[in-house]
Amino acid sequence: MPFVFLFPAMALLAIFKVFPALFAIYISLFRWDVIQGAFRGLDNYADILWANPTRAEAFWRAMSTTFTYVLITIPLEMGLALVIAYVLFQRLRGRTFYRTAYYLPYVTSTVAAATVFVWIFHPQFGLLNAGLGLVGISGLTWLQEPDGVFQMIGRAVGLDVPGWAAGPSLALVSIAIFSIWHFLGFQIVIFLSGLGNIPEEYYEAARLDGASGRQLFTNITLPLLSPQIFFVFTIATIGVFRAFNEIYVFTFPPLLGGPLDTTRTLNVLVFRTFFQQGQIGLGSALGVILTLLILAFTVIQFRVLERRVVYQ
């Protein structure tokens, strides 16, 4: 009897999840430009990693962009979320309102939200430059700016920053700002649920021993929140690996991943290779690499999740 119940969803999962995962590997072993071509073995992977200079350059550049994106987004986002969650947890007046307000961006679609941010980041009519104009900063072109941020700061104070230290492009930083705004509420909710699980007695005992507010935070809150912190870290990293919609909306097809390819993450490169260039075999190989990257973090995350889940 159970198998009768199982069948419909199992069949669909098999057709659209399990089979495609294997099919993706199969495709990646062939020359496959729109239609299936000759068997290439692992040559597609070799091309991507080192054998074909153009492909390899694009791949390693995308890898570096992806990890830069992770690096400029995750620490700031997690730090902000932690602080806001901690403040919201202290019986703040109207905290339900704040929680709703912070969480709202997370449920809105990335396409709609990014459309609004296209305007906010607009060099002439945008909200951001209007605001910065009041404090005397003007002329930033945000999403259209391929120059590195350190390079730009250096230029502003009259320092010549070498090319290797140029930093992420302002365009990538703009996307990171959007990403932080959009996903902050999710992290706050997770942190709040973690904070709710810490027994009040611990704080009381520490207070009796004369611990300061800061000591309470670093010696009780942080260690007891570490499962949530770790969990949020893996989820957020996976989220950045998977980012596509916002980059698509911000940089738009002919320039997808622009300006000057500075926002072309691995997932965007996959899309460009298989869809825009029609190189399905190569694209699939790139996709397999991206999947392995995501799976590595998923495995870590499942470990954490297993410990967190409470079976009644």
Partner 1 sequence: MRNIWKHAVLIFAALLVAYPFYYMVTTAFKNMMPAEATLIPNFVMMTRLFRPNDPTRIVDGYLVQILPFIATAFSIFLLRQQFLGFPKELKDAARIDGAGDVRFLWSVVLPNSVSTLVTVAIIGFLASWNAFQWPLIMTSRPDIQPVQIGLNAFRGEAGSSYHLLMAAAAFVVAPVVALYLVGQRYLVQGVARTGIRG
Site for partner 1 in 78-107 (CB under 8 A): 100, 103-104, 106-107
Residue 251 Cβ vs partner 1, minimum distance, rounded to whole Å: 12
Q: Looking at 64, 115, 215, 226, which residue binds partner 1 (CB under 8 A)?
A: 115
- Which residue, 72 or 190, is less far from partner 1 as judged by CB? 190
| DSSP assignment letter at 277 | S
Reading the block at residue 286, the tokens are 């790139």
Q: Looking at 249, 257, 258, 269, which residue binds partner 1 (CB under 8 A)?
A: 249
- Which residue, 67 or 150, is less far from partner 1 as judged by CB? 67
Q: Which of residues 2-21 bind partner 1 (CB under 8 A)?
A: 2-3, 5-6, 8-10, 12-13, 16-21
Q: Looking at 81, 216, 231, 260, which residue binds partner 1 (CB under 8 A)?
A: 231
Q: Looking at 41, 53, 90, 125, which residue binds partner 1 (CB under 8 A)?
A: 125
DSSP lists the bridge partners of residue 142 as none
Q: Which helix (H) or strand (E) holds 43?
A: helix 43-46
Q: Looking at 57, 199, 275, 277, which residue binds partner 1 (CB under 8 A)?
A: 275
Q: Which helix (H) or strand (E) holds 296?
A: helix 280-308
Residue 131 Cβ vs partner 1, minimum distance, rounded to whole Å: 16
Phi, psi at residue 278, to the nearest 5°?
70, 15
Residue 74 Cβ vs partner 1, minimum distance, rounded to whole Å: 12
Residue 112 Cβ vs partner 1, minimum distance, rounded to whole Å: 4
Does residue 244 bind partner 1 (CB under 8 A)?
A: yes
Q: Which of residues 28-87 bind partner 1 (CB under 8 A)?
A: none
- Kindly give, in sequence order, each residue whose CB lies less than 8 Å from that of residue 286, ignoring residues fewer than 6 positions away: 48, 59, 266, 269, 270, 273, 274
Residue 99 to residue 184: CA distance in whole angstroms: 11
Q: Looking at 239, 257, 258, 259, which residue binds partner 1 (CB under 8 A)?
A: 239
Reading the block at residue 87, the tokens are 């403040």
- Which residue, 64 or 108, is less far from partner 1 as judged by CB? 108
Orientation angle between helical segments 170-196 and 53-89, nearest 10 degrees: 40
Long-range contacts for 10-16 (Cβ within 8 Å, ≥24 apart)?
Answer: none
* Contact by Cβ (8 Å): 234, 209: no
Q: Which of residues 170-229 bind partner 1 (CB under 8 A)?
A: 183, 186, 189-190, 193
Q: Which stretch binds partner 1 (CB under 8 A): 51-59, 155-163, 172-180, 296-304?
A: 296-304
* Contact by Cβ (8 Å): 159, 167: no
* Contact by Cβ (8 Å): 269, 289: no
- Tally the C-alpha atoms within 13 A of residue 308's C-alpha that lie toward its C-beta: 20
Helix (H, G, I), strand (E, B) or coil at 37: strand
Rg value, the chain, Cα: 23
Residue 122 Cβ vs partner 1, minimum distance, rounded to whole Å: 8
Residue 240 to residue 237: CA distance in whole angstroms: 5
Residue 199 Cβ vs partner 1, minimum distance, rounded to whole Å: 19
Size of the site for partner 1 (CB under 8 A): 73
Q: Which stretch binds partner 1 (CB under 8 A): 42-50, 137-145, 202-210, 237-245?
A: 237-245
Residue 217 Cβ vs partner 1, minimum distance, rounded to whole Å: 22
Orientation angle between helical segments 226-242 and 280-308, nearest 10 degrees: 170
Residue 224 Cβ vs partner 1, minimum distance, rounded to whole Å: 17
